[in-house]
Structures are given as C-alpha cells and as structure tokens.
Amino acid sequence: MMDAGKTKIKICGLRSGDDIAIVNETLPDYAGFVVDFPKSFRSNTPEQVERLVSGLDARILPVGVFVDEDEETVVSLLRDGVIAMAQLHGSEDDAYVRRIREKTGKPVIKAWIISSPEDLVQACASSADYVLLDAGKGEGKAFDWSYLENGLERPFFLAGGLTPESIAEAVRRCRPFAVDISSGVETARKKDAQKVRQAVMAARRV
C-alpha cells in the first residue's frame, strides 16, 4: 500500500473472483463491496461478500457499501471482520453513524451528494470518520471540483466521474485523502484489469 502521506485509492463495486484477482495484483488501499442493494448490478449478498473478501490480499482493507441497511447487518459484518469499514450512501443520520461505531469500534464513511458549496458545509459537520463526496449514487458523474479549491477541513474520499485519465488532476485540484473509482475502471460492466492498473499508478504518481 501507499505511504500514509499520499493519496490513497479505493476500487469499488467488486463482485467476482476475477475482480479480486485484479485488485490483489494492483494493491489499492481499499476494496469496496456493495451489499444488499438490488438496484445496483454490483450488489452482493453478505454471504457473497464474505466469500469474496476471503480471497482478498490482507494488505487491502475491505469496505462494505450500504444504502439504508438494517443496522445489525452492518454491525455483524464489521464485528465478524468481513469488512473493516462501513460506507453509508443512504439517509443514515449521525445517530446511526454513532451507533455503528459504538457497537463495533470500526470507522464509518458517510457519502454526501455535492451539488453546491453548502453541501460541503453539511458534509464537514458529519460525525463520520470520513466523508465521501460524490455527484450521485454511482452514476459515474463528477461534481464541480472548484468547490474544493480552498480545501476541506477534514479527510475525504473523492468519487464521481473519476477515470485513470482524470485521477491526477483530481488529486492536484482537490487534495483528497483518497480517490474512489468504480465505473471508471470498467468495460462492459466488468472491472478492466488494465484500467485498474492505470488508475492505481496514476494515483501513486501524483
């Protein structure tokens, strides 16, 4: 994995043994697994996530991605060590975030849809360990990065519309703790090994 001072990278939306092989080769810092969200073609059951994570290189932290999931499902996966972090993409409030952390002692990422500078103010106030800034919920679109030109008061994951070609600019302009990429490293709805390699290399070169 990268040095602590460098921007980290998360490859999200893993759902097959081939995906696991790709990230085990490229060693991003985080691997994301969508859990119980049928609207996404990347969704996995908790049992599928457990099987996939069992083959994951120990140097990569597995992250469960949830949308208004029952708390006990999230807590169970964290307590059992299936995932190391929970990433919340629904209407979960600060009380939900605190309960997850109090029950497990594990870090929580809360996703925020950014459509104006005011949205960043709300994101900064979140009680989560990290916030993830996105333009939507996995649509692969970027928000206006100029909102971040003055920096952000807390560590954040930058998502939305990232590609191997745009990661370097994103890191320079936005200075995120981590970049989060999913559709940008896919071809025909499958993770593309070459694109993942390019994305990881791009993040590490900056």
So where are the chain's domains?
8-205
The share of the chain scoring above pLDDT 90, in percent, equals: 83
In the chain the first and final C-alpha atoms are separated, in Å, by: 15
Look at residue 138 in the predicted model and tell me its pLDDT: 56
Q: Which of 12-21, 145-154, 179-188 has the lowest mean pLDDT?
A: 145-154
- Rounded Cα distance between 179 and 28, Å, is 10
Whole-structure pTM value: 0.93
* Annotated catalytic residue 12: yes
pLDDT reading at 168 higher than 90: yes
Catalytic, out of 12, 29, 174, 180 = 12
Look at residue 135 in the predicted model and tell me its pLDDT: 83
Paired with 10 in beta bridges are: 30, 180
> Higher confidence at residue 147 or residue 140?
147
Residue 140 CB coordination number (10 Å): 17
Catalytic, out of 19, 134, 174, 180 = 134
Topology of the domain comprising 8-205:
TIM Barrel (3.20.20)
* Annotated catalytic residue 57: no
Q: What is the mean pLDDT of residues 106-124?
A: 93
